[in-house]
Structure 1
Amino acid sequence: MLRNCLVVAVEGTHASGKTTLTHALAAHFRERGVHVACVPEPARNSPFIEEIVVHGRGEFDLETEVDLFAAQLSSQLRVARQHTMIICDKTIANVLAYAWLVLPGGPEGPHAPVLRAMEAFCRAWASVYDAVFYCCDKFDQHQIGDPYRSKVLDIQPAADRVVRSICATVGQRIFDIPPNMSTSARVGWIAEQLTTLGLNPTSR
């Protein structure tokens, strides 16, 4: 929880339906009178990612990953100031997991000190997320007009393993969403879990 704001996150690899679900969840709770907002994935607004993906200049580097990590954290903090509930499109642990995958040498490579510092912060920050729900499904990664997935098309299985591993390493508890559910069914299932956990925002 950030101040008095309930913090819910939707986790998973790319093309698992995270963004669609965060918006559907926000709509569900907004219709029930909750002052809620989505916290979008910052990668799509990152000048570093735009340079790499859209303009084809350079590769993923430490500066890119640190910027994404900071932007993910900052966006959550800023949106939480003005709402009673936020729904985050992934956690900062997810950013760390992808950094492990795309940076040379991963956690044992030349950027190990920074990655370990990010890991320590993720561990200290894990309790801020009141509930984290993990998308287990994998959808078609090839979307016309979306260049942002082109650089990570071949690492979805590895990303799934590493995101789960990082969450476990930093003590981030996750709840697996049952597979093969429609978006509306996913929303209903999560709403039920929040009630069971004593986190129903409609009763706060």
Structure 2
Amino acid sequence: MLRDCLVVAVEGTHASGKTTLTHALAAYYRERGIHVACVPEPARNSPFIEEIVVHGRGAFDLETEVDLFAAHLSSQLRTARHHTMIIADKTIANVLAYAWLVLPGGPDGPHGPVLRAMDTFCRAWAHVYDAVFYCCDRFDQQQAGDPYRSKVLDIQPAADRVVRSTCASVGQRIYDIPPNMSTAQRVDWIAEQLTALGLDPTAR
């Protein structure tokens, strides 16, 4: 929790339905009187990503990944200040997982010290998430108007493996959402899990 704010995250690789689900979950709990907000994926609003993806200048580098890491933390902290529940579009471990993938050399490369520092922080921060639900489905990545998704089109299977392994390595427990469910079914399933975990915000 962050200042008595329930923190739920929706995890998964790109094109797994995370963003759609976070908004549907927020609507579900708002209808039940919960003061809830979505925390969006920071890459969508990053000036670094805009330069790389939209304008085709440069490549994913350390500055980009550190900015995303910091923005992810900041957006969750600031949103939690004014709400009793937040639903985050992925965890901080997801940001680290993509950094491992896109930066050259991984932990043994030139950016290894910074990546290892981010990894240490993720381990210390994992307890902040009260529950993390993982989207197992994969939907069409070639969506019109979404250049970011097409930029990482080739790494979806690798991203799925690395996101999962990174969550596990930092002690972030995840609950797999059963595949082939509609968004409404996913919402109902997550609500049932939160109740079973003693985290039902309507009962607080």
- What do the CA deviations read for 1:18-58 (whole angstroms, capped 9, x no partner)? 00000000000000000000000010100000000000000
The residue number in structure 1 matching 2:201 is 201
Unpaired runs of 5+ residues, structure 2, are none
Report whether the alignment pairs 1:49 with 2:40: no
1:107 Cα offset (Å) = 2.0
1:146 Cα offset (Å) = 1.1
What one-letter code is carried by the residue in structure 2 that aligns with 1:177?
I
The residue number in structure 2 matching 1:137 is 137
- What do the CA deviations read for 1:144-191 (whole angstroms, capped 9, x no partner)? 111111210000000000000000000000000000000000000000
1:96 Cα offset (Å) = 0.2
Unpaired runs of 5+ residues, structure 1, are none
What one-letter code is carried by the residue in structure 1 that aligns with 2:163?
V
The residue number in structure 2 matching 1:87 is 87
Structure 2 residue matching 1:145: 3-state secondary structure: coil
Partners of 2:125 and 2:147 lie apart in 1 by 31
1:98 Cα offset (Å) = 0.2
Partners of 1:96 and 1:70 lie apart in 2 by 11
Aligned 1:1-204 pairs, distance under 5 A: 1-204=1-204
Identity rate, percent: 87
Which moves more between the two structures, 39-48 or 104-113?
104-113
What one-letter code is carried by the residue in structure 2 that aligns with 1:79?
T
What's the RMSD between the two structures over aligned residues? 0.4
Structure 2 residue matching 1:150: 3-state secondary structure: helix
What one-letter code is carried by the residue in structure 2 that aligns with 1:148?
Y
Partners of 2:142 and 2:150 lie apart in 1 by 8
Q: What is the TM-score when the length of structure 1 is the normalising length?
A: 0.99
What one-letter code is carried by the residue in structure 2 that aligns with 1:4?
D
- What do the CA deviations read for 1:33-86 (whole angstroms, capped 9, x no partner)? 000000000101000000000000000000000000000000000000000000
Partners of 2:158 and 2:169 lie apart in 1 by 16
Query: After the TM superposition, which segments of 4 or more aligned residues of structure 1 sit over 3 Å from their partners?
Result: none
Structure 1 residue matching 2:151: 3-state secondary structure: coil
Structure 1 residue matching 2:156: 3-state secondary structure: helix
Q: What is the TM-score when the length of structure 2 is the normalising length?
A: 0.99
Partners of 1:160 and 1:128 lie apart in 2 by 22
